[in-house]
A and B are shown apart, each in its own frame.
Chain A
Amino acid sequence: MHDLSPSGLSLPAPSRRSLLRGIGGAALLGAGIPLLSACGGSGAAADTKTVSLGSNSSDAVPKKAFAEIYAAFTKKSGIKVDVNTKDHNTFQEQINSYLQGTPDDVFTWFAGYRMQFFAAKKLATPIDDVWAKIGGNFPDAMKKLSKGEDGKYYFVPLYTYPWAVFYRKSVFAQHGYKVPTTWDDFVALCKRMQKDGLVPIAFGDKDAWPAMGTFDQINFRTNGYDFHVELMAGKASWTDPKVRKVFDHWSEILPYHQDGAVGRTWQDAAQTLVAKKAGMYLLGTFVGQQFTNKADLDDLDFFAFPEIDPQFGQDTVEAPTDGFMLSKAPKNRDGAVKLLEYLGTPEAEQIYLKADSSVVAASTKADTSSYTALQKKSFEMISSAKSLTQFMDRDSRPDFTSTVMQPALQNFVRNPKNVDSILSSIERQKKTIFASS
């Protein structure tokens, strides 16, 4: 898992670790950028026994896990995988020029709008032939996520993880709290926690993407999946009373959020849950990375964001999914197709999950016997979902979410009373951004 995976767009959060790493690697990175488009073209990619693959898994754990998958593939097919790993953030920032230059045959990417964007720009090759073979391994929701706007498949998902409300079982037992399933229960629980001296909802929005997660949850619970998709695609208006209702709900629970959120990183917010000072925390399962003590991690549990409108219940799950795509002009198309077919098997997913236990397999056929309790719960939550969303910055235009939504939501978190002017400003900017290209 990467520190920043829920929001690919976010630039390096200045956590102690990543900054120190960044300083060390800065020179290397600087030198790497101009070479980005060049390195795909080098090497012996032209022969039929090698497939080149561009990867953003620069962190040690996923990098090793991926390497094991490729080794297993080579053993099985005799085709070598030539991996070019780039720093996670650099890969994302350079993706435009990378895909336009001489990209590797296969590259790692995200499902949803961000995948469809490159598919629509003809920077990826449709892989319907791959899906003819692997289609049976995946649930319908995953199939939907892997298709471009033209209805063709462009993406092979590997793993996914849900966003949910995390809590400590021991804290809930100690105070006799019950998991809330409706909005009223949720608000009542927040009030009780506050009375008991807890911070009801831990919150850190310094990196500007966590607030987008809160918005997503309240929006698809209030207005349903279809409206959420329309809003993200720039079709529905942000000044619609439906959106206003989302912010009204949010304003209702905002006083129960941790103070001073805009100055706090998600890691620091997670620490308040580790220290049992906070009652709940809405985040992805990667919050588990902050629980370094095994006993604390075993005490961690989560529940789906409570129902707001009974019409929609809890039918939507936010489950960002990572996987692979085929570039526009692969040098070894046959080999790449074979690799993608292999990546779409439960076998490949299990190899990955052995190394990284904070995520779950995208396929419903993968063996779940070795899953931890949290993984099992994540898996059930995702496979029983009617619709899956990715995350605001994966479901919408990244330029819109990073330059408009991130500052706007930070503004809202600080000044919930300004909601009307914030929304009309979002709508004004949205129109121009979605109108261009």
Chain B
Amino acid sequence: MSTDTSTENPETAPAPSPGAAPAKSSTGHRRLLTRRDRITLGLMAGVPTILHVALVWLTALASIALAFTTWDGIGFDSIHWVGLQNFRQLFTSNPQFWPAVEHNVIWFVVLILLPTPFGLFLAVQLDKKIRFSRVYQTAFFLPVVVSLAVTGFVWQLVYNPDTGLINSLIGANKPGHYIDWIGDPDLNLWAVLVAASWRHAGYMMILYLAGLKGVDPALREASSLDGANEWQTFKNVVFPTLRPTNTVVLVVTIIEALRAFDLVFVFNKGAQGTELLSILVTNNIIGESSRIGYGSAIAVVLLVISLAVIIPYLIATFRKERRA
């Protein structure tokens, strides 16, 4: 769901500018374009539009509609309208729902507070052209290249309570002083978040590194001429110029937090302590006698949260950009 919003906004947002600016010359354009050009243009714009509408909008709307029904997936005549019942049930009697919302929020807060600044820190260090910079870059970026399912699997081996690396090292795999990293609801979310942060830091590092490459060297020079030390230069000169990168970082982190799934699913299938909205959706929809209506209701909640977070932010950003 979160990816829907990210594709939707860039498409709707730039729309006004080409429409508004070349309004006068539109008749001129029409004359310049041959019939073939227009067909080509029509196809180039039309095919992606049709695909987009069919695969993003229609499915999203269908999922919203299904959220107000019960359906076991067998035949269309077994779809029954139930109004708000799914949501009522979700909010009042599902013991996993509120923890899942909470965990998604924790996921975001942790990602933005720990690995993101750490990624920035790494990027700043690597930007100084130290020796073996490329080697470090590769090492830190490697977790991002590896699929999240593999990441989950590897960390699951590290955390395995009986034979895992951690418990073997600290001797916590004996009866009596057992540490259950995967099953204990007080521990497992943090254990997974370590794995998620490990990956996210590398991702953020690359984004910031790209941003830092774009900072005009003249700015640094000027600030050092003014007598600013390294920290002051970073705080007052470099960081403010990274504003566009920060926008991307924030949006990416929100998306990561909302779509968190594979890592946890491989780690412990979202057992108590690591419930996530995305996992609840999957558990309810996939399977033989699927609860498609109920699962859709959870998906709609996820969609609403994504929209509530991302739309105001993007509106604010684009408004600022237009003013600038």
Binding site for B on A (CB under 8 A): 9, 11, 14, 16, 19, 23, 92-93, 95-97, 100, 114, 117, 121, 123, 199, 205-208, 258-264, 268, 271-272, 397-399, 402-403, 407-408, 410-411, 414, 425, 428-429, 432-433, 436-437
Neighbour of A261 across the interface among B70, B163, B183, CB < 8 A: B183
In the bound assembly, the distance between CA atoms of A75 and B18 in angstroms comes to: 73
Nearest A residue (CB) for B75 = A100
Judge whether B272 and A428 touch: CB under 8 Å. Answer: no
Judge whether A19 and B288 touch: CB under 8 Å. Answer: no
Neighbour of B287 across the interface among A206, A258, A262, A402, CB < 8 A: A402
Closest CB of chain A to B80's CB: distance in Å? Answer: 7
Given A14-B152, A260-B184, A433-B291, 12 more A-B residue pairs with CB atoms under 8 Å apart are: A96-B288, A96-B289, A121-B74, A260-B161, A261-B183, A263-B159, A263-B182, A263-B184, A398-B289, A403-B283, A414-B185, A437-B72
Judge whether A410 and B271 touch: CB under 8 Å. Answer: yes
| A/B interface sample: 30 pairs, CB < 8 A | A9-B287, A19-B266, A92-B288, A95-B288, A96-B289, A117-B289, A123-B74, A199-B175, A205-B183, A206-B271, A208-B271, A259-B175, A260-B180, A260-B183, A260-B184, A262-B182, A263-B160, A263-B183, A264-B162, A398-B289, A399-B287, A399-B288, A403-B283, A407-B271, A410-B183, A410-B271, A410-B272, A414-B185, A414-B272, A436-B291
Judge whether B153 and A206 touch: CB under 8 Å. Answer: no
Judge whether B271 and A262 touch: CB under 8 Å. Answer: yes
Binds A, one of B50-58, B91-99, B117-125, B236-244: B91-99
Closest CB of chain A to B292's CB: distance in Å? Answer: 10
> Given that A262-B180, A398-B288 are known contacts, is A208 also in contact with B74, CB under 8 Å in the complex?
no
Residues of A within 8 Å of B181, CB to CB, are 263
Is the C-beta of B229 less than 8 angstroms from some C-beta in chain A? no
Is the C-beta of B223 less than 8 angstroms from some C-beta in chain A? no
Nearest A residue (CB) for B156 = A14
Closest CB of chain A to B79's CB: distance in Å? Answer: 10
Closest CB of chain A to B74's CB: distance in Å? Answer: 5
Residues of A within 8 Å of B80, CB to CB, are 436-437
**Interface SS majority for chain A:** helix
Neighbour of B272 across the interface among A123, A272, A407, CB < 8 A: A407
Residues of B within 8 Å of A114, CB to CB, are 288
Nearest A residue (CB) for B173 = A260
Residues of B within 8 Å of A437, CB to CB, are 70, 72, 78, 80
Closest CB of chain A to B69's CB: distance in Å? Answer: 10
Residues of A within 8 Å of B5, CB to CB, are none
Is the C-beta of B149 less than 8 angstroms from some C-beta in chain A? yes
> Given that A14-B152, A410-B271 are known contacts, is A259 also in contact with B178, CB under 8 Å in the complex?
yes
Is the C-beta of B7 less than 8 angstroms from some C-beta in chain A? no
Is the C-beta of B246 less than 8 angstroms from some C-beta in chain A? no
In the bound assembly, the distance between CA atoms of A249 and B82 in angstroms comes to: 39
Closest CB of chain A to B209's CB: distance in Å? Answer: 30
Is the C-beta of B268 less than 8 angstroms from some C-beta in chain A? yes
Residues of A within 8 Å of B74, CB to CB, are 96, 100, 121, 123
Q: Which 10 A-B pairs give the minimum distances between C-beta atoms?
A: A262-B183, A263-B183, A260-B180, A263-B182, A436-B70, A259-B178, A263-B180, A428-B93, A96-B73, A260-B178
In the bound assembly, the distance between CA atoms of A396 and B181 in angstroms comes to: 31
Binary contact track B254-269/A, C-beta < 8 Å → 1, others 0: 0000000000011111
Judge whether B93 and A429 touch: CB under 8 Å. Answer: yes
Judge whether A263 and B288 touch: CB under 8 Å. Answer: no
Is the C-beta of B150 less than 8 angstroms from some C-beta in chain A? yes
Judge whether A398 and B287 touch: CB under 8 Å. Answer: yes
Which residues of B, 272-324, contact A by the 8 Å Cβ criterion? 272, 275, 283-284, 286-291, 293
Nearest A residue (CB) for B179 = A260
In the bound assembly, the distance between CA atoms of A206 and B269 in angstroms comes to: 8
> Given that A14-B153, A262-B272 are known contacts, is A432 also in contact with B93, CB under 8 Å in the complex?
yes
In the bound assembly, the distance between CA atoms of A292 and B143 in angstroms comes to: 35
Judge whether A402 and B283 touch: CB under 8 Å. Answer: yes
Residues of A within 8 Å of B182, CB to CB, are 206, 262-264
Closest CB of chain B to A101's CB: distance in Å? Answer: 11
Is the C-beta of B9 less than 8 angstroms from some C-beta in chain A? no
Residues of B within 8 Å of A11, CB to CB, are 265, 269, 286
